[in-house]
C-alpha cells in the first residue's frame, strides 16, 4: 500500500488593508502655516538673536563710572548682519504660496505692512546718506589736522553735534513704525503668521533705535551747549561723566579732536588724533557696508509684500 506524506501549505498573506478609522486620518503637513514649518522656526531664532544683540548693546553702553564707551563698531556691524539675515528669512517666507494666500485674505493688513517697510526703507536710505557725509567729514578733519587748520577742526566738532541730532531724529521716526493693531485672524495658522510678522516689525524697530542711539550718544559730551571754547580751552562741562555711553571708535575720535583743540600745537596729540580718525574711517566703512545690505533686504521684503497684492 502506497503511503502519502502529509504536507502543509501556507498561502501568501494578503496586504493588510487599513481600517475605516485609519482611512479618515491624515498626517498633518508641515507646510505653512503649520507651527513646525522650518521657516517659522528660523525666523523665531533670528528674532531671538537680535533681541540678545540688543540686550548686550544696551548693557555695554549704559554705565555711570567710565568715560569711554565699551561697545565697538564691530558690535553695530554684527547687529546689521543679524538684521539683514532676518529680512532675508522673512522674504523667503513671503514667497511661499501658503503665506501669500493667507495674506491676501487680509489685504488691509498687508497695506499697513507695506507702509511700515516703506518707512524702514526711507530711514535706512537717510542713514546711508548720513554715513557718507560723516565719512567726508572724517577726511576733511584729517586734512585740517595736517594743515593745522583750526577753523576746520571746529567745523568738524560742530558736524559731530549735527550728526548726533540727526541720529536722534532717525531713532524718533523709527519708534513710530508699526503702531497699529493686527487684525483678528480666523484660524490658528493665520494668527501664527500674524504674530511672526508683528515680532519681525517690532524687533526691526528696536534694533534700529539701538543702532542710531549707539552712534548719537557717542559724542554726547560735545553736544550743543555742553562745550565752550575760550582761547581753545574747553570748559569744565566737557568733564562731566556721561551716563549713556556710545561706540568706542566714535567716542575716542571725537574726544581726541576736542583734546587737540584744547592743546593746539601738541605734536603727540595731533598724531593720536589722526590715528583715531583714520581708525574711525575704517569703522564707518564697515557700518556703511552693513547698512547697504540691510537697505537692499528691506527693499526686497517690501517688493515681496507688494507682489502679494498684485500677483494672482
- Mean pLDDT is lowest, of 2-6, 165-169, 293-297, for 2-6
Q: Is the pLDDT of residue 303 over 90?
A: yes
The answer to whether the beta carbons of residues 58 and 268 sit under 8 Å apart is: no
Q: Number of H helices and number of E strands within the chain? A: 9, 2
**Cα four-point dihedral sign 262, 136, 210, 112:** positive
Please write the tens of the pLDDT for every residue from 211-263.
998 888 654 444 333 333 333 333 334 434 344 556 888 888 878 788 787 77
Instruction: Tell me whether strands 233-234 and 229-230 are parallel, antiparallel or unpaired.
Output: antiparallel
In sequence order, what DSSP letters do the residues of 202-264 get, joined into one string? HHHHHHHHHHHHHHHGGGGGGSTTS--EETTEE-GGGGPPPSB--BHHHHHHHHHHHHHHHTT
Percent of the chain residues topping a pLDDT of 90: 36
Residue 207 burial (CB count, 10 A): 22
Residue 27 burial (CB count, 10 A): 5
Nearest in space to 204 (alpha carbons), one of 46, 45, 38: 46
Please write the tens of the pLDDT for every residue from 44-70.
999 999 999 988 887 776 654 444 445
Q: Is the pLDDT of residue 25 over 60?
A: no
Contacts of 271 (CB under 8 A, 6+ apart): none
The answer to whether the beta carbons of residues 249 and 283 sit under 8 Å apart is: yes
Domain ranges for the chain: 38-177+192-217+244-310
Amino acid at each position: 500500500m502506497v503511503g502519502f506524506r502529509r504536507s502543509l501549505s501556507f498561502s501568501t498573506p494578503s496586504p493588510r488593508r487599513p481600517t475605516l478609522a485609519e482611512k479618515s486620518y491624515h498626517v498633518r503637513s508641515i507646510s505653512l502655516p503649520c507651527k513646525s514649518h522650518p521657516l517659522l522656526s528660523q525666523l523665531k531664532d533670528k528674532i531671538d538673536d537680535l533681541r540678545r544683540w540688543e540686550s548686550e548693546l544696551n548693557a555695554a553702553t549704559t554705565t555711570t563710572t567710565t568715560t569711554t564707551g565699551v561697545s565697538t563698531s564691530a558690535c553695530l556691524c554684527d547687529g546689521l548682519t543679524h538684521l539683514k539675515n532676518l529680512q532675508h528669512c522673512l522674504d523667503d517666507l513671503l514667497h511661499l504660496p501658503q503665506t501669500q494666500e493667507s495674506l491676501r485674505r487680509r489685504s488691509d493688513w498687508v497695506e499697513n505692512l507695506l507702509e511700515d517697510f516703506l518707512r524702514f526703507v526711507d530711514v535706512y536710505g537717510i542713514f546711508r546718506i548720513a554715513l557718507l557725509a560723516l565719512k567726508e567729514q572724517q577726511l576733511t578733519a584729517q586734512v585740517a589736522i595736517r594743515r593745522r587748520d583750526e577753523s576746520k577742526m571746529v567745523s568738524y566738532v560742530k558736524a559731530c553735534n549735527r550728526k548726533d541730532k540727526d541720529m536722534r531724529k532717525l531713532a524718533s521716526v523709527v519708534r513710530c513704525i508699526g503702531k497699529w493693531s493686527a487684525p483678528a485672524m480666523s484660524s490658528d495658522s493665520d494668527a501664527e503668521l500674524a504674530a511672526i510678522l508683528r515680532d519681525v516689525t517690532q524687533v526691526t524697530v528696536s534694533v534700529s533705535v539701538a543702532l542710531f542711539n549707539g552712534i548719537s550718544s557717542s559724542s554726547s559730551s560735545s553736544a550743543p551747549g555742553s562745550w565752550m571754547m575760550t582761547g581753545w580751552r574747553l570748559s569744565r562741562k566737557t568733564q562731566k561723566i556721561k551716563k549713556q555711553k556710545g561706540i568706542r571708535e566714535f567716542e575716542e575720535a571725537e574726544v581726541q579732536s576736542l583734546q587737540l583743540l584744547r592743546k593746539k600745537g601738541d605734536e603727540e596729540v595731533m598724531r593720536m588724533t589722526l590715528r583715531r580718525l583714520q581708525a574711525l574711517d575704517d569703522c564707518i566703512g564697515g557700518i556703511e557696508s552693513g547698512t547697504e545690505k540691510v537697505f537692499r533686504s528691506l527693499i526686497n521684503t517690501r517688493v515681496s509684500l507688494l507682489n502679494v497684492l498684485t500677483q494672482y
